[in-house]
Amino acid sequence: MKHIKNTHENIKFCVFLLLLCFIVINSNVNAQNPVIESIIEDLVNKSGAEEEDYSTFVEDLNYFIQNPINLNNTSQEELEKLIFLNDFQIENLLTYVSSTSYMLSIYELQLVDGFSNDIIIKLLPFVTVKTIDIEEKLKLKNVIKYGRHKIIPETKFILQTQKGFLEISDSALSENPNSVYQGNRMRYLMRYRFNYKSRVYAGLTMEKDAGEKLAFDENYNGFDYYSAHLQINDIGKIKTLTIGDFQAKFGQGLAMWSGFGIGKSSDVLNIRKKAQGIRRYSSTDENLFYRGLGTTFKLNAFEITAFISSKKIDANIEYNDTIDTDIPEITSIQNTGYHRIISEIEDKHAIGENVYGANLTYRNDFLKIGLNSIYYKFGAEINKTDKPYNYFDLSDDNFFNLSVDYTLFYKSVNFFGEAAIDKNNGKAFLNGLVLDLIPQISFSFLHRHYQENYIAYYANAFAEGSKVNNESGFYYGIVFQPFAKMKISAYADLFEFPWLKFGINSPSAGTEYLVQTDYFLNRNIDFYFRWKSETKKSNLPTGTETIIDVEDYNKNYFRFNISSRINSVLTIKNRIEFSTYNFNNEFETGFLAYQDVNINFRNIPIGLYFRYSIFETTYNTRFYEYENDILYSFSVPAYSGKGTRIYFMLSYNIAENADLRLRYSHFYYRDSDNIGTGLNEIEGNLQSEFKIQFSLRF
């Protein structure tokens, strides 16, 4: 049995946190509205997704900071981009504006059902109330004259030398060409963004990851990754026209949904995916996008969307010898986006990928119905390893999916769902509802059934697993607000996998539960307690190659978090977490605590962000914690082992249109003499990272 005992350091730090919390609660405080950092942190905490890309959300929020939504002239689609609003809040707000014809003051939000003080405070930076502007015709001279530009160069690197950057002898390199990275340790990223109101968007992204080569010759075109887009909105019947790189999000994600979509979270009512259709792509993920042309036409209550994409993707290729020629086969599609060593470079853009998609949507005030289709073809046939869990994976060079989705608002109930079918008659179904029973109680429910033989390469639906297949489940959520300052949220998810999965050599089932209690002491202090429990199956370490038994393992997480806005300058946050893991008669525990101090000075244009963390965990009881980072970057490191972590960030507003951000962070491990594995290994117990970013707007 493994048991991690609390050390004197842990005890002293906990006492310090509790004393600080007591002092804060009894302080005389003034409020400061939380803006984008707190919203994204809340999103990360809710979704539990540590490796997702939230760039799209951040760009939307930044845009609405500069161009607030006019509540007298908005739509459901526009409000859905404010991801912290649920369906009922959006519907109630639109109903209120329609019933009053015209909002006179932003303070009328207090009269809208479902808008508590904390939601209103979060919403205020992104909305306004004013007269309705007359829609102007799009003119090129106005786009050029009044468009806004933004240039954001940045770099980051690890201060310690990783194994892949060490010099080795020519003989060792000849024996193992993949033993060193081809480029230097620096990551370079350059972003250019342009927008004219909400009508025209354009952008260019260039990136080189650490270890990748930056050169201009017959083999390299400068940066490793380039992405560009142009999006024009509202030109007559054309709702959206996108050229270059874009995403397509339709229905509930059973057939096509590229990019991030919220699933299970502490916001138990926010389970319906909010499709945005065709939209520009401006992130650095080198896989989750289309490249080509997409457009949406609006014809009264109907919208017609079509897109075509053609790009090269990374893949491992092998050749089958035949009498006449060699036939290429894809043994695996590479999604890391890294091209640092010889083998990764050989896999870069190894095959072509062509995608064709279409959508027809009918929409009125209460109902939306969509028909979706997507066809994709690869430059070679996919032939993965013959492991049993791969039996139902994609194994052809072309495939398609068809689906129908719906959303229906009826009084206080929101029904939604999607049904999909693939080329080989595999099927997937998802249906859910959200019920606003009374102002104090709301329910959510979702059922999904994804057959083991359903294949959808571009799917991203509500699921426990990483793929939209081989899963059935029932999800139940409830929100209870006994009084204005307290909210209790809970969900239960019961799921099963009828076929094998990686690491599980039999059909299996599991459960997941979450309970969170939020308490808003006043507009400046809020805290919450969260318990989350997961029970799933895993292969036992005993057995033979052909017979492996499986057994349940159980994980529990306990979190206490308090956020306090001391005044308009200072914000502090404290968090304490415990976790347990029980499998095969072995019991492990984990502990983490941290202190955040954020300072935004009023008289000087400087913001300071600081965190000090201590942790004692195993790999199975590790934690993922969101950290403030430079613009459009997201740091959610894994805390595993025994040690401390510190990060410090400075944001300096050099001028009205220019910002500088510096960030330093490091892990110190007390229980290890080296960090990382493979070519990322560092000798020693310290890993430090430095980032610098400059932002210019004109």
The residue with greater pLDDT, 158 or 111, is 158
Task: State the pairing for strand pair 381-382/326-333.
Answer: parallel
Tell me what pLDDT residue 6 has: 46
Q: Where are the domains of the chain?
A: 33-135
Burial (CB count within 10 angstroms: exposed 0-12, middle 13-18, buried 19+), residue 144:
exposed
- DSSP collapsed to 3 states, 210-263: CCCCCEECCCCEECCEEEEEEEEEEECCEEEEEEEEEEEECCCCCCCECCCCCC
Q: Which H or E run contains 648?
A: strand 642-655
Tell me what pLDDT residue 340 has: 94
Residue 22 reports pLDDT greater than 50? no
User: Among candidates 128, 152, 129, 119, which has minimal Cα distance to 39?
Assistant: 119
Tell me what pLDDT residue 31 has: 32
Tell me what pLDDT residue 324 has: 55
pLDDT tens digits, 29-62: 333 334 566 666 666 654 444 455 667 777 777 7
User: Among candidates 632, 662, 631, which has minimal Cα distance to 647?
Assistant: 662
The residue with greater pLDDT, 593 or 133, is 593
Tell me what pLDDT residue 53 has: 63
What does the alpha-carbon distance between residue 546 and residue 566 come to, in Å, rounded to a whole number? 61
Instruction: Tally DSSP H helices, then E strands, for the chain.
Output: 9, 36
- Weakest mean pLDDT among 36-50, 156-170, 234-248, 340-354: 36-50
Tell me what pLDDT residue 378 has: 92
Structural tokens at position 305: 């969307």
pLDDT tens digits, 172-187: 888 899 999 999 999 9
pLDDT tens digits, 611-651: 999 999 999 999 988 888 888 887 888 999 999 999 999 99
pLDDT tens digits, 356-400: 999 999 998 889 999 999 999 998 888 876 778 888 888 888 899
Rounded to a whole number of angstroms, the distance between the first and last alpha carbons of the chain is 61
pLDDT tens digits, 74-129: 888 888 888 788 888 888 888 888 888 888 888 888 888 888 777 888 888 888 88
Residue 321 reports pLDDT greater than 90? no
Tell me what pLDDT residue 279 has: 92
pLDDT tens digits, 286-309: 888 999 999 999 999 999 999 999
What does the alpha-carbon distance between residue 454 and residue 463 come to, in Å, rounded to a whole number? 14
Span 501-525, average pLDDT: 90
Share of the chain above pLDDT 90, in %: 54
- What pLDDT band is residue 158 in, cutting at 50, 70 and 90? very high
Residue 443 reports pLDDT greater than 50? yes
Tell me what pLDDT residue 389 has: 80
User: Among candidates 219, 365, 273, 356, which has minimal Cα distance to 83?
Assistant: 273
Structural tokens at position 403: 């689906």
Residue showing tokens 């430079």: 630
Tell me what pLDDT residue 35 has: 56
